[in-house]
């Protein structure tokens, strides 16, 4: 969406007929970055139409002129629910006082009826009443503004909280790292996800939250949170589901676990430099370390397991795990169980023995001695203690994973610290690199550094027969690079003895690549490097990504061949931590080390 910067404002009355004409021409655009879901129940829509029929005033509609997909559009800033109610009534989606709008009244609706796109429902309001309704003038304010200005206007309109919940105000146009994760995951769970943030108003009803009185959209009782008794219907309409998703994400991202509550949620969205455990800066630093893709994967894997377990149980979460029912739902009970399961899966590398056994373990779970605090802030210490207790109770239903990839990643992490310390005595067979990209530009692959790594690998293979070296990428051997990465990329290093673990996730994010894409790309680069082809293929086979304390690292293990290997047609050896070219007598001596070559 593009628009010229301007704040010129025009206010005029628009007939419902003209607004509907704009609607059928797809001129109205909804930006889901700040606009909430369509949540009005049919009774609220009927009251609005009744006001128009009685010629009572209806609040102003605020629009922003913009360009989208090379077409002039009207972005709805304030009035989404009202416009949807009006257009839905005109299209016979609900009656008022038991009667429907006469679609023969307007040329646009008559055309849709004649073409089979719209069906007239009975009984019908008289033509004169329908004509009066379409001639009703609604106050409409239209202005031209930048995208950031639209965001700010929307926030200010709703700042008093009369129209939006606290969470909706937090999300409104937020550019905080956490906001896009909350928006994407929440929509996926509810079932109202869209490919882009921009949706035509005509398409919004398809992904709106509705009740049984409407035959379109997403039935609120079928939404996961409501169906499982975790949140009430009203809570979901007020975006309390997004608030819960936010709390869960914070506990996946931050270490140690932070407190949960209004002030902590607010801090997560604030761009101000606050020294808060849930500050946007803290979250950004952790996301650069772990990666948003990895957090989404862990979140959805955990949720999928809980869903599958409840399917086996054959009962909603609230009745299966808690005997005493609460009409407002049991969000904190779910929160504690979710984080416990997530940590068992992804921090302890465990899997359920079976869905049936896990379902049995959580049956009546909260009827036991575990106590879940009520409303207000949920302190970090109490939360951590409860989650540890939940894990202790659930662990009998889990077992260590036998997944080869997970075991390999776990093994890499366990080997990492001990291997690092070996570097102090085996520096000829050990090398560290802070990353694959330039320190001052995480999106720019460092070709010179990469070929230097390849040259070092060849030198390690030439140390002696059967030599095996280790190259870690994502670790700086000095504080200078670590400080530069924190300053330029926002990644805080983890210090391990004299080494600084920085990881490479920030590079993948900057290049917009997944781990698998980067892996395939690196393998191809190694195979097509200046190394001997046989050694290059062998080296590529040792490339392994792994995580250490949530930092994404890479490991290469150059291994001696039956003869010395070359890089760019030249022979290199290691002299301590240095790499040197050998010629003449030095080359003869090198060849003699490999008598079977």
pLDDT of 162 higher than 90:
no
Q: What is the pLDDT of residue 401?
A: 79
Confidence (pLDDT) at 405: 56
Least Cα distance to 461 among 544, 556, 346 occurs for: 556
Is residue 131 very low, low, confident or very high in pLDDT (cuts 50, 70, 90)?
Answer: very high
Give the pLDDT of residue 161: 41
Give the mean model confidence (pLDDT) for residues 435-449.
92
Q: Token pair for residue 410?
A: 């776990």
* E strands, 347-493, in order: 350-352, 398-400, 430-433, 437-438, 441-445, 470-473, 475-476
Residue 387 has pLDDT above 70, yes or no: yes
**Lowest-pLDDT choice from 16-20, 133-137, 400-404, 474-478:** 400-404
Q: Is the pLDDT of residue 422 over 70?
A: no
Domain positions in the chain: 9-169+198-219, 237-400, 406-592
Greater model confidence, 328 or 151: 328
* SS3 category, 471: strand
Q: To which residue do tokens 């260590």 refer?
A: 400
Say whether pLDDT at 597 is over 60. no
pLDDT, tens only, 330-363:
899 999 999 999 999 998 889 999 999 999 999 9
Task: Reply yes or no on domain 406-592 having CATH 3.40.50.720.
Answer: no
Average pLDDT over every residue of 520-526: 94
Lowest mean pLDDT among 40-54, 416-430, 494-508, 550-564: 416-430
Label residue 48 by pLDDT band (50, 70, 90): very high
Please, what sign has the CA dihedral across residues 18, 24, 27, 32?
Answer: positive
Please confirm whether the linkage preceding 256 is cis (ω < 30° from 0): yes
Mean pLDDT throughout 31-43? 79
Do 104 and 119 meet the contact criterion of CB atoms below 8 Å apart?
Answer: no
pLDDT, average across residues 560-573: 94
Q: Is the pLDDT of residue 23 over 50?
A: yes
For the ranges 61-75, 305-319, 428-442, 509-523, the lowest mean pLDDT is seen at 61-75
Q: Quote the pLDDT of residue 147.
A: 61
Residue 402 in this model has a pLDDT that exceeds 80: no
- What's the CA gap between 151 and 174, in Å, rounded? 8
Q: What is the pLDDT of residues 86-97, one digit of tens each?
A: 999 999 999 999
Mapped onto helix, strand or coil, the DSSP state of residue 573 is strand
So what's the pLDDT on residue 148?
60
Selected residue with higher pLDDT from 386 and 164: 386
The arithmetic mean of pLDDT across residues 192-208, rounded, is 79
Evaluate if residue 66 carries a pLDDT over 70: yes
Which pLDDT score is estimated for 214? 64
Residue 274, pLDDT score: 55
Q: Distance between terminal CA atoms of the chain?
A: 64
Among residues of the chain, what percentage have pLDDT more than 90? 49
Q: What is the mean pLDDT of residues 132-136?
A: 95
Instruction: Look over the chain and give the mean of its residue pLDDT values, rounded to a whole number.
Output: 86
Q: Identify the H or E element spanning 138.
A: strand 137-144
Confidence of residue 297 (pLDDT cuts 50, 70, 90): confident
């Amino acid at each position: 969406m593009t628009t010229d910067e301007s704040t010129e404002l025009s206010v005029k009355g628009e007939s419902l007929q003209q607004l509907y004409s704009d609607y059928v021409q797809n001129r109205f655009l909804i930006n889901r970055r700040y606009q909430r879901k369509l949540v009005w129940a049919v009774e609220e829509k009927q009251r609005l139409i009744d006001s128009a029929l009685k010629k009572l005033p209806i609040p102003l509609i605020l629009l922003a002129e913009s360009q989208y997909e090379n077409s002039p559009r009207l972005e709805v800033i304030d009035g989404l629910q009202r416009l949807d109610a009006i257009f839905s009534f005109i299209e016979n989606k609900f009656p008022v006082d038991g009667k429907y709008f006469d679609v023969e009244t307007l040329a646009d609706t008559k055309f849709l009826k004649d073409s089979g796109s719209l069906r007239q429902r009975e009984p019908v309001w008289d033509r004169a009443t329908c004509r009066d309704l379409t001639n009703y003038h609604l106050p409409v304010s239209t202005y031209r503004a930048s995208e950031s200005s639209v965001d700010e206007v929307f926030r200010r309109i709703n700042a008093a909280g009369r129209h939006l919940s606290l969470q909706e105000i937090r999300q409104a146009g937020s550019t905080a790292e956490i906001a896009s994760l909350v928006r994407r995951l929440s929509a996926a769970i509810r079932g109202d996800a869209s490919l882009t943030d921009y949706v035509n108003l005509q398409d919004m009803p398809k992904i709106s939250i509705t009740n049984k009185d409407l035959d379109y959209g997403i039935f609120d009782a079928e939404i996961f949170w409501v169906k499982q008794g975790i949140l009430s219907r009203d809570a979901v309409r007020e975006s309390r589901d997004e608030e819960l998703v936010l709390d869960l994400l914070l506990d996946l991202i931050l270490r140690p676990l932070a407190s949960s509550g209004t002030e902590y949620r607010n801090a997560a969205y604030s761009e101000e430099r606050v020294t808060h455990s849930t500050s946007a800066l803290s979250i950004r630093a952790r996301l650069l370390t772990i990666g948003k893709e990895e957090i989404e994967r862990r979140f959805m894997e955990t949720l999928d397991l809980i869903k599958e377990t409840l399917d086996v149980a054959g009962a909603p979460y609230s009745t299966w795990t808690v005997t005493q029912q609460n009409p407002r739902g049991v969000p904190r009970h779910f929160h504690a169980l979710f984080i416990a399961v997530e940590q068992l899966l992804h921090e302890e590398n465990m899997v359920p023995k079976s869905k049936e056994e896990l379902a049995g373990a959580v049956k009546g779970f909260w009827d036991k001695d575990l106590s879940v605090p009520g409303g207000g802030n949920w302190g970090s210490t109490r939360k951590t203690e409860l989650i540890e207790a939940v894990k202790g109770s659930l662990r009998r239903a889990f077992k260590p994973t036998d997944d080869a990839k997970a075991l390999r990643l776990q093994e890499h992490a366990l080997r990492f610290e001990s291997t690092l310390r070996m570097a102090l005595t085996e520096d000829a067979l050990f090398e560290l690199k802070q990353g694959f990209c330039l320190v001052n530009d995480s999106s720019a692959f460092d070709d010179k550094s990469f070929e230097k790594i390849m040259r070092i690998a060849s030198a390690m293979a030439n140390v002696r027969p059967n030599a095996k070296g280790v190259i870690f990428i994502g670790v700086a051997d000095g504080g200078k690079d670590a400080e530069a990465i924190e300053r330029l990329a926002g990644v805080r290093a983890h210090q391990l003895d004299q080494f600084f673990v920085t990881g490479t996730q920030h590079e993948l994010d900057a290049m917009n690549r997944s781990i698998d894409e980067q892996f395939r790309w690196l393998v191809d680069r190694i195979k097509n490097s200046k190394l001997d082809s046989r050694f290059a293929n062998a080296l590529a086979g040792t490339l392994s990504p792994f995580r250490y304390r949530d930092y994404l690292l890479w490991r290469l293990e150059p291994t001696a061949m039956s003869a010395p290997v070359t890089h760019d047609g030249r022979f290199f050896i290691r002299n301590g931590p240095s790499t040197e070219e050998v010629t003449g007598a030095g080359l003869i001596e090198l060849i003699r080390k490999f008598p079977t070559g």
